[in-house]
Amino acid sequence: MDKLTLKDIDVRNKRAFVRVDFNVPLDDSGKITDDTRIRAALPTIDYLREQSAKVILASHLGRPKGGYEARYSLAPAAQRLSELLGAEVPLLSDCIGPHVEAAVAAMRPGEVVMLENLRFHAAEEKNSPDFAGALASLADVYVNDAFGAAHRAHASVSGVPTLIQPAAAGFLMSKELDFLGGALQSPRRPFIAILGGAKISDKIKVIETLLTRADSLVIGGGMANTFLKARGVDIGKSLYEPTQVELAAELLDLAERSKVAVHLPVDAVVALDINAEEGEIVSLDAIPQDAAIVDIGPATSDLFAAVIAAARLVVWNGPMGVFENPVFAVGTFGVAEALAASPAITIVGGGDSAAAVEQCGLASRMTHISTGGGASLEFLEGKVLPGVAALTDKRGKSE
C-alpha cells in the first residue's frame, strides 16, 4: 500500500484523531446486536494507548437529520468499548465546541474519549471546511480505521486529513486494503468471485471489473434472475430488473469473449411469498407462473461448492436468496460452508455476506471479513475511495 500506515508515524504522546466505524446495529431497546466493528478497531486503539497517545475516537451512527437524536447516540458504543478495553471511555456531549476542547485538553497519555455522533452536524456529510477545521484542531495526527466509511467524502473522512499531517491508515484499514487490493492486483489463481444480492444494477461496475481479473464468476440471489431472463428462462414472478436484461446478455457475451466462466443457478427454491414457511425445489424449466425464486436449489449449491473447492482465491459479496427468512437461507449458508471448507484465501465483502458467516458460526474460518459493504463494492469496482486518497503518501514520508 502506498499510503502511510500507523507504524509509519510517530504517535507517542500525540493527540490522535481516529476515525472509526462504530455504525453498529442496535435493537429496539438500543442494545448492540453485533459488535464486530468495535472489536475490529481494538488493535489500532490498543497500539495508540501503548504509545501513550491521547486517543480521540470519531464515528457516525445511523442517519440522523443533522441534529441530536437520542436513538443515534454513540453511548452504546462507548459502553461496549469500555467493557472491551477494561477502561472507561467517556462519551463527550458533542464532537466540536468548547466543552470538547476542554475535555481533550484534560486528557492524559493513554486515555481514550469518544466524540458524539458526527452526523448530528449536517456539516459532516457536506464536508464543511469549517467543521473539518474544528475537528482537526483537536489533534496532532490523523488515523483512519473506518474502511466502511472510506467511500464517503465527508468532513471526518476526507476533510480532516487534509488539515492534519501525517494522516495514516489504521491497522484495520491497512488490512482491508491489503486483502482487497491484493485480490484485484495480484490474485492467486484460480480466482473466483461470488456475487449475490437483489440487483444487478448495484454491481454492474463490479462485474465489469471482475471480468478483467477473475477466472470465473458465480452469480446467485435476485441478480441471477436477470441473467436467467437474459438466457430465456421463464422465471415466473421472480424479482428481476427488466431494464437490465439486455445488459445482462451483453455481460454474458463479454464473459464468453474474455474466457471467464459464469456459473448461474441450475435449479431453484420457489415460493408464493418470501415470508412462506416452506419452499419447493424445482428445475429451471419448471418454475410455476405464480411463484418466485427465493433461494438457489441443492444442485446449484453443489455446483457452486465444486467451483469454490477448485479455487485458490474467493471473494464473496451478496446472499444467494432471501436469507432474512431462515427457510430460504440454505443456499447462502451453503456458500459459507463451502468457503469454510476451502483451502483458498477467502474474502467476504461485508454487508449481508458478513452477517451470514457470523450467523453460521463460520466467521473464524474465513481469511478476511470486510467491515465495509458499500466501500468494499466501490473498491472492487476499481474506484479510488476518498478516505484512502486523503491519506499521506509514503513517498511523502520524511526521512
Of 196, 220, 351, 387, the catalytic one is 351
The alpha carbons of the chain give a radius of gyration, in whole angstroms, of 23
Report the distance separating Cα 317 and Cα 320, nearest Å. Answer: 10
Residues 63, 71 contacting (CB under 8 angstroms): no
Report the distance separating Cα 334 and Cα 307, nearest Å. Answer: 13
Of 14, 15, 37, 175, the catalytic one is 37
Q: 3-class SS at 346? A: strand
Report the distance separating Cα 369 and Cα 233, nearest Å. Answer: 34
ω into 242 cis (within 30 of 0) = no
- What does each C-alpha distance from 250 to 203, 206, 216, 255 come to in angstroms? 14, 15, 16, 9
Catalytic: 37?
A: yes
Catalytic: 199?
A: yes
- What does each C-alpha distance from 155 to 4, 125, 129, 398 come to in angstroms? 20, 7, 7, 26
Report the distance separating Cα 147 and Cα 25, nearest Å. Answer: 17
Catalytic: 351?
A: yes
Catalytic: 65?
A: no
Report the distance separating Cα 276 and Cα 273, nearest Å. Answer: 5
Helices (DSSP H) in 29-107: which residue ranges?
36-40, 42-50, 75-85, 98-105
Of 199, 213, 237, 383, the catalytic one is 199
Supply angle C-alpha 234, 237, 241, rounded to 5: 80
* Contacts of 99 by beta carbon, 8 Å cutoff, 6+ apart: 92, 93
C-alpha cell read off for 176: 482491508
Of 133, 182, 374, 382, the catalytic one is 374
Q: How many helices (H) and strands (E) are present in the chain, helices listed first? A: 15, 14
Catalytic residue list: 37, 199, 351, 374
